[in-house]
Structure 1
Amino acid sequence: MALGANLFLRQNQSLVMTPQLMQSIQLLQMPHAELTAFIAQEVEKNPLLEMTGDEGRGDEKHEAAELVAHESPEPSSDWFREDRQASDSLKESLDSNYDSAFSEDAPPLRPDAPELMSQWKSMPGSGSADHVDLDEFVASRRCLRDHVTDQIALTFRSARAQAIARHLIDYLDEAGYFQGEPHEIAASVGIDTDEVTQVLSALKSLDPPGIFAQSLSDCLREQLRQCGRLDPAMEALVDNLDLLARRDFQKLRRICGVDDDDLLDMLGELRRLNPKPASAFSSHPSESVLPDVIVTERPGGDWQIELNSDTLPRVLVNRSYLAQVRASQGMSEADRTFLNTCLQNANWLTRSLDQRARTILKVAGEIVRLQDGFLRHGVDHLRPLNLRTVADAIKMHESTVSRVTSNKFILTPRGLFELRYFFTVSIAGADEDAASHSAEAVRHKIRRLIDTEMPATVLSDDDIAAALKEDGITLARRTVAKYREAMNIPSSVQRRREKRAYARVAAG
């Protein structure tokens, strides 16, 4: 067979993932915080992009700008009604003497001080044209290091012990637990291990109680010691927290040498303790969740679905600046190319954000339509739902629906939920013709049955399965046990023991 070069004409289809398409997909999955950070980076790189809030919509400098894609579309009727090695400064401070344990404070301001007068004149209503933000006068939040350092100066007399104590602060985690090893710290600093241990033992008496503990039991023990409740029985209970986690109260009573009433009192005291003593000084406070979609009921009974304007960054394409730059003289070809690229990127970003908003609204509208019973009557009426059902209804791919429902929240009359909350597996009914049930609704029924049981009639897993069958839900005993354990509900034996003990205390 002869070898030769030939030309062929072939036609085929292929999906090409361009960088812009990949970024559009990523935008769809981003939650509010990530989206805001991403847009801030794009605005910093692109001179044609601007971000504005509600207060800036009427500014004259934005009159020639084009607002794109961030007005919430109206819902249509389709939607249904540092390293820890010891530093040289620490080693020097261990061998040096301090003249004073406290540094001199700055002298206080006098009422007639010019600094104070200037601050008063700048306040709103003082007659000055300049105004100062009142947040500048708010005291800063004290951190854990400052709180402990102030106590070290009063706890230790020698400068050497104070230096060691200040160094040990670096080994505290956010919960207030000591994460270092005394022998390793002593070796790195060049001192005796017993000296580090003595300082560490004294640090455990500082405020907040339980700080510098090396374990949970150590933390609880120190808090009980400071409040005068560390008797032998309580110390035995703290030393056997693993038995308490397994709810083995019979063995705990034998180890502690107490009866049911005393054990319940001891457990009540443990619950009043703080397992994370430094939580009040946390530098990372919990952030509130902002809903992406808000659902309200109209007077006619239909549901109104709208996007939350607080989670939609408003992006402007500054056409006036673009026109000024293009009209300027002396632009090179490279400058024109850069300007065109910036304009393309700006238009793409605004279109992508518009498509993202419309897709979220469309998916949320279909979820509300399908879960109308839940919104009106509660968890018992939550329907089983999967991604394919929503995707087929709105003519989109399952992956798109999955990205939309990831880390997105919806505010309903029933509360704030993640969009993924409404997607649950289906559990067959007792009869072949019976409707299926949502797994979340079944878990809610199990919890309600357990909450209403009496000490004399505690339900076993078999009893719960039989009660569910009477409601038309077929569930095996092992499945009931799996759901119960997932909700951190103890077994019937442990619940019966607890309920009887609490009943005796209440009766007595």
Structure 2
Amino acid sequence: MVLTPALQQAVTLLQLSTADLAQYLQEQLLNNPVLEIWESAETEGEPAGFPEAPESSREMEYWAEFAEEDLPPRGEEQQQVLSVEDCPGEGRDLHEELLEQLRFLDLAPVEYHMAAFLIGNLDDHGYLRYPLAELAPAAGVTEKELEAALELVQGLDPPGIGCRSLQECLLLQLRRREGVPPLALEIVSRHLDDLVRERYRSIAAATGATLEQVRQAVEVIRSLNPRPGSLLGGGSVTRYLVPDLIVKKVDSDYQVLTNDAAVPLLTINPLYRELLRGEAQQDEQLKAFLREKMESALWLIRCLEQRRLTLFRIAQEIVRIQRPFLEKGLKELVPLTLKDVARRVKVHESTVSRAVANKYIQTPRGLYHMKFFFSRGYGEPGGKSYSAHSVKLCLQELIKQEDPQKPYSDAQLARMLQARGMPLSRRTVAKYRQEQNIPSSSQRRGGWTP
């Protein structure tokens, strides 16, 4: 399926974190005079609502399924609750955050340790400054094996992590996005020097693209982050993650709120609206310009509402399913897949994948990446299913309770987990044990302190 530019923008907005979205909207405000920030205390009327549905049948189908959905209103009380200062990050630095993501991947022990080794060698901006040829001997693996581990690291969030150059940083981010114009990839791959020097005519001549196409591609590139590590901390400056959604416990229920306070609410500048409705003798070129900007502004406003609605619906479903975790903690985390949520929310699995990318949710139990709530399950047919996180906690408890003089072997632990309804192979038990830095039974004999 070929996405129109309008749908490319919708897909891009869905993938952006709240912090990146706020930056993107500031750029749009500078580029489109028709847009302005709606200030309820100073502006008469209401913010612009949904424009008429796009003419493209694909675009109409994309939006139709959400048209009647009920979304909580934006209100003063909600904005006070969701102020960024009330929702600090967990205080972990870049390396700790990446290691936390790594632990939730289904990796062999050697893969995990190689990836963790590379994470430890990233600088505060998320760059790997050492050649793999130099790092491989220190890691005790081949350069080819380390290259494969680097691909794992580069698949973590935020996009661009683990890059070895600015060019690779930008390419990694572009390749993680849907609907990126091929010209943007070509410019970064082959014409980065011209891009840095803003030699757009040279790029147009070399690629055969029009100057306008080059400028559109450059706008996409400018939305990227050349220092992805800065999004997760690093250095001596205290940084905060901005949650995209908030979960509050109200009486005995859980309420999901979107973090509207962190994103400016856009509307149409009334002056330009009146100019567009102006008299017939008005300059036709000006009217054409304003009409184009108006259509662009209305579509952006619609995309923002769509993004907000999609995140809200997905978060609602996650909270409904993961209520046991919210009530009792990690041991009760329910196994969940992207496909499960997509089926219940009635969207494509790829939509859920894009929506949870780079997103954080503030819960009564802390701030979590939305991907945290997705985990494979273990269990007997027809019985209760346990998430990988729950299994790891149970494994920790069994080892803590063992006789220091007769520690359990991985095979014994596998049998004990099986008795609790968690069928794991000895190899999987060993992998989960190593991921938590728990020594083997022979190394634990005589006592072991976590």
TM-score, with length taken from structure 1: 0.50
Contact 2:256 2:312 (C-alpha < 8 Å) held by counterparts: yes
Give the letter for the 2:423 counterpart.
T
Q: Quote the residue 2:269 is aligned against.
A: 318
* SS of match in other structure, 2:256: strand
Contact 1:64 1:319 (C-alpha < 8 Å) held by counterparts: no
* SS of match in other structure, 2:445: helix
* SS of match in other structure, 2:37: strand
Deviation (angstroms), 1:287? 2.3
How far apart, CA to CA, are the structure 1 residues paired with 2:260 and 2:37?
A: 14
Q: Quote the residue 1:471 is aligned against.
A: 420
Contact 2:19 2:242 (C-alpha < 8 Å) held by counterparts: no
Q: Quote the residue 1:63 is aligned against.
A: 44
Q: Quote the residue 1:17 is aligned against.
A: 3
How far apart, CA to CA, are the structure 1 residues paired with 2:249 and 2:27?
A: 38
* SS of match in other structure, 1:36: helix
How far apart, CA to CA, are the structure 1 residues paired with 2:407 and 2:338?
A: 38
Deviation (angstroms), 1:476? 1.3
Q: Quote the residue 1:287 is aligned against.
A: 239
Deviation (angstroms), 1:497? 5.9
Deviation (angstroms), 1:453? 4.1
Q: Quote the residue 1:297 is aligned against.
A: 249
* SS of match in other structure, 1:295: strand
CA gap of 1:336–1:456, structure 2 versus 1, over 3 A, is same
Contact 2:433 2:439 (C-alpha < 8 Å) held by counterparts: yes
| Deviating more after overlay: 440-449 vs 453-462 | 453-462
Residue 403 in 1 paired to residue 386 in 2? no
CA gap of 1:434–1:345, structure 2 versus 1, over 3 A, is same
Contact 1:384 1:438 (C-alpha < 8 Å) held by counterparts: yes
Deviation (angstroms), 1:298? 2.1
* SS of match in other structure, 1:305: strand
CA gap of 1:31–1:437, structure 2 versus 1, over 3 A, is same
Deviation (angstroms), 1:309? 2.4
* SS of match in other structure, 1:489: coil
Contact 1:484 1:490 (C-alpha < 8 Å) held by counterparts: yes
Residue 333 in 1 paired to residue 287 in 2? no
Residue 458 in 1 paired to residue 439 in 2? no
Unaligned runs of 5+ in 1: 1-14, 76-172, 181-239, 243-281, 504-508
CA gap of 1:332–1:460, structure 2 versus 1, over 3 A, is same
* SS of match in other structure, 1:411: strand
Mapping 1:330-409, distance limit 5 Å: 331-409=282-360
Deviation (angstroms), 1:351? 0.4
How far apart, CA to CA, are the structure 2 residues paired with 1:428 and 1:383?
A: 11
Contact 1:446 1:464 (C-alpha < 8 Å) held by counterparts: yes
How far apart, CA to CA, are the structure 2 residues paired with 1:369 and 1:479?
A: 29
Q: Quote the residue 2:435 is aligned against.
A: 486
CA gap of 1:408–1:284, structure 2 versus 1, over 3 A, is same
Deviation (angstroms), 1:329? 9.5
CA deviation vs aligned residue, 1:30-86 (integer Å, no higher than 9, x gap): 11122112111111110011135xxx4312xx32573447xx9329xxxxxxxxxxx
CA gap of 1:290–1:65, structure 2 versus 1, over 3 A, is same
Residue 433 in 1 paired to residue 382 in 2? yes
Contact 2:360 2:369 (C-alpha < 8 Å) held by counterparts: yes
How far apart, CA to CA, are the structure 2 residues paired with 1:321 and 1:23?
A: 23
Deviation (angstroms), 1:372? 1.7
Give the letter for the 1:433 counterpart.
G
How far apart, CA to CA, are the structure 2 residues paired with 1:389 and 1:174?
A: 36
Q: Quote the residue 2:199 is aligned against.
A: none
How far apart, CA to CA, are the structure 2 residues paired with 1:24 and 1:406?
A: 15
Instruction: Specify which structure has the bigger relative contact order, considering alpha-carbon pairs within 8 angstroms and separated by 6 or more residues.
Output: 2
CA gap of 1:39–1:298, structure 2 versus 1, over 3 A, is same
Give the letter for the 1:26 counterpart.
T
CA gap of 1:414–1:452, structure 2 versus 1, over 3 A, is farther
Q: Quote the residue 2:191 is aligned against.
A: none
Contact 2:333 2:373 (C-alpha < 8 Å) held by counterparts: yes
Residue 41 in 1 paired to residue 27 in 2? yes
CA gap of 1:296–1:440, structure 2 versus 1, over 3 A, is same
Q: Quote the residue 2:106 is aligned against.
A: none
| Deviating more after overlay: 328-337 vs 341-350 | 328-337
TM-score, with length taken from structure 2: 0.56
CA gap of 1:332–1:324, structure 2 versus 1, over 3 A, is closer
CA gap of 1:306–1:460, structure 2 versus 1, over 3 A, is same
CA gap of 1:406–1:495, structure 2 versus 1, over 3 A, is same
Q: Indicate the structure (1 or 2) with the bigger Cα radius of gyration.
A: 1
Contact 1:306 1:361 (C-alpha < 8 Å) held by counterparts: yes
Contact 2:276 2:291 (C-alpha < 8 Å) held by counterparts: no
Q: Quote the residue 2:72 is aligned against.
A: 74
* SS of match in other structure, 2:72: coil
Q: Quote the residue 2:177 is aligned against.
A: none
Q: Quote the residue 2:363 is aligned against.
A: 412
* SS of match in other structure, 1:417: strand
| % identity of equivalent residues | 37
How far apart, CA to CA, are the structure 1 residues paired with 2:281 and 2:401?
A: 82
| Deviating more after overlay: 382-391 vs 354-363 | 382-391
Q: Quote the residue 1:262 is aligned against.
A: none
How far apart, CA to CA, are the structure 2 residues paired with 1:26 and 1:381?
A: 34
CA gap of 1:285–1:449, structure 2 versus 1, over 3 A, is farther
Q: Quote the residue 1:27 is aligned against.
A: 13
Give the letter for the 1:482 counterpart.
K
